[in-house]
Structure 1
């Protein structure tokens, strides 16, 4: 069985690598597709949105992106009937209530603060796996 990919929308290469390592440590076997900006991500989703079998199992999105910021991308995902039900997790280094509220208002299903501590990030990724990936693989 081929697992649906996880779409990581992130422009910081260090954060991409950290996510790859955390996925490996958390035992996540879903392939990771990386979009370096919001416009690239929406183009990728449009291309793969025509075939529900290729949509990602989960979207992880940084809020501060070039071209289109994360909030704009989340609103576009929610506006598209082909992608509106995708689970979307906002990623940010900010823990400010206003940023968290704005993420949920833009369509995030969950919010994950990027930790400096790698061990904590692995724990967070394991929780994402249990909440969004393991539960969906039973469908």
Structure 2
């Protein structure tokens, strides 16, 4: 069964413009994966997605640290798991078909990342609002 890619929607906006913009960008990068095209383009896109995730997760962790979020360490572990899944996909992609790569990216974004936003990211938003009000200052 082929997965359809979840689309960005206001349902998963956390209310922090920079974080929401980064989340939206990750969904857009994931949407660029299709089973057609050449393997080099797909592998470059996967490497770009992996690098973007690293930057986003780091910035998110800095924001949580600035807010003294009590769940930071647990959240960091979740991020480490996601980075590991992406690195493994990047490593295994050379032996996968383009369709398999596209399906795996969709699974990671639709499943893991989408749910992570709704549960883990929404959980630290009260700390952000308590520290900064509605919009945090850039780190």
Give the alignment's TM-score, normalised by structure 1.
0.31
Give the alignment's TM-score, normalised by structure 2.
0.31
Where relative contact order (Cα < 8 A, 6+ residues apart) is larger, the structure is 2
Q: Which has the larger radius of gyration?
A: 2
Q: Which has the higher strand share?
A: 1
